[in-house]
Amino acid sequence: MSWVLANLPTIAGHLLAHLLQAVPAIIASFVLAIPIARLARVARPLRAVLVTGSSLLYAVPSLALFVILPIILATGIRDPLNVIVALTLYGLALLVPATADALDAVDARVLDAATAMGMGRLRCFLTVELPLAGPAILTGLRVVTVSTISLTTVGAVLGVRSLGWLFTDGFQRGVTAEILTGLVSTAALALILDGLVLTLGRLCLPWTWKRVGTSGAAVAGVGAATSGSQEGKA
């Protein structure tokens, strides 16, 4: 605890650097995954390439990708942009398949009804298809959020500032408190951002959670009625 109190400014600096790398990658993954998944749904011949290809990205070792990207992007090896791009690619590897499956799960009869009401493709997608697929997409986004927070620490091996720096520096100097601080901070940050994403999801999809709550109340009511009838028989 004394090490933490003595190094609060350093920890805060690495925490901020961690967020500046992870948050843009999460947002970029979400924004890019939706049109890619939509294209995979509309253009069936491209589905295997887009969905399977994006999934294969996750098989690429993160450290190797961090080393290759500076050559492709013409940036320095310690440039945080390399980490952001790599994290975005890993986020797409998880979110594109999840989003594609979520869009496929939307009932075709609902889409036919929306088309029969005169909705265009874009309006139907934005107001019918995407909201119905929202809960499943939100689940995938939460996985991407936690995964991205964890993977951001790998950049510290190349000298990029993040909470992972506490791991490498603590290991080199043999400071156990520093390593534990990095571990706890990373886990806590992942939990906080996961809760934030869940809260934003509930605000954007209020009808879904109300429906779940209503269903739960209905089930509870049926259970209470059944229990009451059994007591009456007794």
In tens, the pLDDT along 70-119 reads: 888 888 888 889 999 999 999 999 999 999 999 988 888 888 888 888 88
What distance in Å separates the CA atoms of residue 22 and residue 146, rounded to the nearest whole number?
10
pLDDT score for 184: 92
In tens, the pLDDT along 220-232 reads: 332 333 334 333 4
What distance in Å separates the CA atoms of residue 162 and residue 169, rounded to the nearest whole number?
11
Domain boundaries, the chain: 2-208
Helices 8-42, 164-173: axis angle to 10 degrees equals 130
CB 12 within 8 A of CB 19: no
Place 211 in a pLDDT band, splitting at 50, 70 and 90.
Answer: low
Pair of tokens at residue 52: 């399977």
pLDDT score for 214: 43
Highest mean pLDDT among 47-51, 104-108, 191-195: 191-195
How does the average pLDDT of the chain come out, rounded? 83
Place 210 in a pLDDT band, splitting at 50, 70 and 90.
Answer: low
User: For residue 91, which of 187, 21, 18 has the smallest C-alpha distance?
Assistant: 21
Q: What is the mean pLDDT of residues 197-205?
A: 90
Sign of CA dihedral 121, 131, 189, 63: negative
Q: What is the mean pLDDT of residues 112-128?
A: 85
Percent of the chain scoring above 90 in pLDDT: 34
Q: Domain 2-208: what homologous superfamily?
A: MetI-like (1.10.3720.10)
**Cα–Cα distance list, 172 to 154, 157, 210 (Å):** 16, 12, 51
